[in-house]
Amino acid sequence: MSVRMLSAVLGLNVLAACQTAEPPAVEIPPQQSALCSPGVSLGKVLVAPLAGWRHDQKEVEARQDIALHAIEAVTPVMPCAASTKILPIVPNSQADTRIVQARLEGATSIVFIRLEELGPVAVLSFPTLWSTWSDVKFTVDAVDVASGETLRSIPHRRREGGAYEGRGTAPLQGEMEQALKDVILGSP
């Protein structure tokens, strides 16, 4: 193989690596106002985190601990709630039992935080490029307890990181907190 041919192949490999080092395209839902937009009053709120992890999700308990700490840091300051109570994380399949619990506790609204993704993602693109990013994905559903009507459903995905950036689990709680603030309070 000639030096030119080897240089061309190497150049194409590097170019291909650059193309695969970025996070995959983010699905962007329609722009929505924050859950606690001006004029919104949810009354007494039960916050019910629900786990909807992939079937092959690793370290579920660690991810749930990170998510719950972030939820506990953000949701008590919901300006549209008269009061909040945070429940432990349960599987998505238990959403109906959480609504029953909210009725029994006299809540006006229940805010489901449906957790789908929380973790670092790593990509190795040979010969020389690597990248990592944090992926936080959830949907916030505000439901009127009396009627069962969904008042708001706000999907959200936050990705931070990129090429040659080393990210582990350390920044996940902060990124989850910021993502919740984006959705609940509208802080970009």
Per the CB < 8 A criterion, the answer to whether 167 and 134 are in contact is: yes
In the prediction, which pLDDT does 120 show?
Answer: 67
Q: What is the pTM of this model?
A: 0.78
Asked if residue 24 belongs to a domain, the reply is no
Structure token pair of residue 176: 């989850």
Structural domain of residue 145, as residue ranges? 38-184
Asked if residue 12 belongs to a domain, the reply is no
Asked if residue 60 belongs to a domain, the reply is yes
Each residue's pLDDT tens digit, 72-130: 999 988 999 999 999 999 999 999 999 999 999 999 999 999 999 887 666 666 666 66
Asked if residue 163 belongs to a domain, the reply is yes
Asked if residue 22 belongs to a domain, the reply is no
Number of domains present in the structure of the chain = 1
Each residue's pLDDT tens digit, 144-165: 999 999 999 999 887 776 666 6
pLDDT at residue 7 is higher than 90: no
Helix axes 60-74, 172-184, angle to 10 degrees: 50
Locus of tokens 């949810």? 42
CATH (domain of 94): 3.40.50
Asked if residue 9 belongs to a domain, the reply is no
Asked if residue 6 belongs to a domain, the reply is no
